[in-house]
Amino acid sequence: MAFSLAQIQAIYEWIPKTFNGTTYPAVWSDQWTSAATPPILVLTLTPTGRFRFFDSFLHANSVTDDEGKLLYDEVWGYHEKATLSIDFQTKNPAERDEVGHAIAVEILRNRLKLTMVRDKLRVDDILQTGMNTSYIDSHGNIIYRSVSDIQFEGELGYSESVPAIRRFGVDIGSGGSPKHLQYVIQDAMRVGFGISARLVYEVEEDD
């Protein structure tokens, strides 16, 4: 999974686990064994690939003071999607239906609690809720399942520290020419970047 440990933990904490006063254990599917006793939430996070950008500028972090040099972090990278499956398993079909409905409600209620600014994650779409199925375990018990799939968007990237812009100016009429317009940008390292343009105008004479 390309998401960071912090992003995966944020998703785990976001997943609703308490319904009607009962808190159910939740485990990732790669850690789940047939010895786990239902009722239980079995979680699977599946990457679905990059969907926009690649090694592109994403955003900039706040300016910091590094030994008198004003710097800020440019973040480069891309956004990736992943699908989270919440598989509620129980021996009681009525409990399956009740909790399956409650999961759908809580997903809808909590969909805005993950943000790109804080978590580098957001809920992108609810693909399905409450898909009912069942299987027979190794002991001959019927295990009733309610499966919900949620699509997440996550940021993957790296940061580079670059000088912060500390001055922006406009110079009109530089060099004695009223037709000259010059923009000057200076960063924290006092390195200037210039943008120049020539103004062309025409005077129309009255007939």
Tens digits of residue pLDDT in 97-153:
999 999 999 999 999 999 998 999 999 999 999 999 999 988 899 999 999 999 999
**Partners of residue 6 on adjacent β-strands:** none
d(CA 82, CA 47): 4
Region 75-103: mean pLDDT is: 94
Collapsed DSSP state (helix, strand, coil) of residue 93: helix
Domain map of the chain by residue range?
Answer: 5-162, 165-198
Pair 44, 37: CB distance under 8 Å: no
Q: Take residue 169 and report the two structure tokens written for it.
A: 């100016």
DSSP string, 135-154: EE-TTS-EEEEEEEEEEEEE
Residues 68, 74, 77: CA angle, nearest 5 degrees: 155
Q: Is the pLDDT of residue 68 over 80?
A: no
Q: Which fold has domain 5-162?
A: STM4215-like (3.30.2000)
d(CA 30, CA 43): 9
Peptide bond into 39 cis (omega under 30): yes
- Write down the pLDDT at residue 131: 94
pTM for the model: 0.71
Q: Is the pLDDT of residue 197 over 60?
A: no
pLDDT band at 91 (very low <50, low <70, confident <90, very high): very high
Residue with tokens 């000088």: 163
- Write down the pLDDT at residue 20: 87
Give the chain's mean pLDDT: 81
Pair 123, 112: CB distance under 8 Å: yes
> For 13-52, what is the HEC assignment?
HHCCCEECCEECCEEEHHHCCCCCCCCEEEEEEEEEEEEE
- Write down the pLDDT at residue 51: 63
Better-predicted residue by pLDDT, 206 or 86: 86
d(CA 173, CA 178): 4
- Write down the pLDDT at residue 189: 46
pLDDT digits over 152-178, tens only?
Answer: 999 988 877 666 555 556 555 555 555
Region 90-101: mean pLDDT is: 96
pLDDT digits over 25-57, tens only?
Answer: 999 998 876 667 899 999 999 988 776 666 776
- Write down the pLDDT at residue 12: 96
- Write down the pLDDT at residue 188: 45
